[in-house]
Amino acid sequence: MPILPRKVVQDLQPYPAPKEGRYGLVRLDFNENTVGFPDAYTASMPDSTVCTYPEYGGLITKVSKQFEVSPESILLTNGSDEALTLVALTFVDPGDVAVISRPCFVVMPHTLKLAGATLREVAVRSDFSFDLEGIGSALPGVKVAMFASPENPTGAVLPPEVIKSWCEAFPGTLFVIDEAYSDYAGISVLSMIAELPNLLVIKTFSKAWGMAGLRLGVVFGQAPLLDYISRVKMPYSVNSAAIASASSLLDRADAVVAAAKQTMQRKVRIESLLQSRGYTLVTGSANSFLLNLGEAAEKFEAFARKNGVLVRNRTEALTLGYVRVSVGTDEEMKKFMEVLIEFESLNPLQNNS
Ligand SMILES: Cc1ncc(COP(=O)(O)O)c(C=O)c1O
């Protein structure tokens, strides 16, 4: 008899994204900060922190100051992927109902299913914004409602006042808002955790903070919720290199905020350039946009990769033809435009104006 995993695992697929062979290429496929903050990384790490189990107090104090919340409302995790998984494993019993928007960040349905949740999925509207009325009507009887704001891949934002009204109207539902891209969007519901005992906000150091390879996330929420999550979390899932880098980055948080702002300024420039060439875009509020290439999406993804530029065809998550492009440096965006223009010249009918 073969050894089989749990029934729910038999039906799951591994995270589908192409993650290998990306070094040295123009990486506009995973919404990372493409240059980061090299000076702040592990150079700041004292020797003793490698042979000693990590300590978190110092970083928690800095995170608390940066995000203006009490240290008791902070839990550090190994990226926000771990945060989302812990939340699902802590609060969902098999058969509990969870609400998500579709499409959404793929880890959300994955972890909720793993925890045994029955998913109630509310499709986005035709302009890829959240269907607020649809979500509102799906909420009765729900244990967990999980959304990213801005969402991935749409870049759509949930209005803070709507999140607040849902939390108040459904006190028995845990609302989880993943703010991986809020540093770019400049919008956050973090300050609401003080008054809402059923709200968790998750942030990551993988995007604006440039630490995707070191893995650091944060769950913010009231202490009783975090106490439950701590029972599930392994004690040292965040390593000392991540602690040291984040600590040094938080000392120069102004530079991180300024870099995120510059990325968004570059985003506006590249979007207008594309629109002036007749392309249809979904701009959203994250550090990426969706470019509609119609039937040529898959072909373009492959063509760009061959020419050293990585983008992601999101057709399978959305509707036919949307390619997600992260915003990199000026030089990287120039390279992206050159590749697109060359593609256009070889495929003149594919410019989806
Ligand atoms: C909405 C959202 N949340 C979380 C993540 C993953 O973040 P982390 O690297 O902290 O696990 C991503 C990555 O693309 C994302 O798009």
Q: pLDDT means per 10 residues in the chain (353 residues)? A: 93 81 93 91 75 95 98 98 98 98 96 97 96 98 98 97 98 98 97 98 98 97 98 97 95 96 98 96 97 94 96 83 96 97 83 47
How far lies 239's CA from each of 60, 73, 81, 87, in Å? Answer: 14, 20, 15, 20
User: In angstroms, what is the span from residue 166 Cα to ligand 1's centroid?
Assistant: 24
Cβ(54) – ligand 1 distance below 6 Å = no
Q: Dump pLDDT digits (tens) for 224-280.
A: 999 999 999 999 999 999 999 999 999 999 999 999 999 999 999 999 999 999 999
Which atom of ligand 1 is least distant from the CA of 216? 10
User: In angstroms, what is the span from residue 215 Cα to ligand 1's centroid?
Assistant: 10
Cβ(31) – ligand 1 distance below 6 Å = yes
Per-residue tokens: 185 = 């969007």
Q: Do domains 7-32+254-346 and 38-252 have the same CATH topology?
A: no
- Which candidate, 301, 36, 326, places its Cα nearest to that of 181? 326
Instruction: State the CATH class of domain 38-252.
Output: alpha beta
Cβ(180) – ligand 1 distance below 6 Å = yes
Dihedral sign, Cα of residue 341, residue 319, residue 83, residue 192: positive
Domain ranges across the chain: 7-32+254-346, 38-252
User: In angstroms, what is the span from residue 351 Cα to ligand 1's centroid?
Assistant: 31
> Among all chains, which residue has been given the structure tokens 């899932």?
237
Helices (H), 191-284: 223-232, 240-250, 253-276
Considering the domain 7-32+254-346, what is its CATH architecture? Alpha-Beta Complex (3.90)
Cβ(85) – ligand 1 distance below 6 Å = no
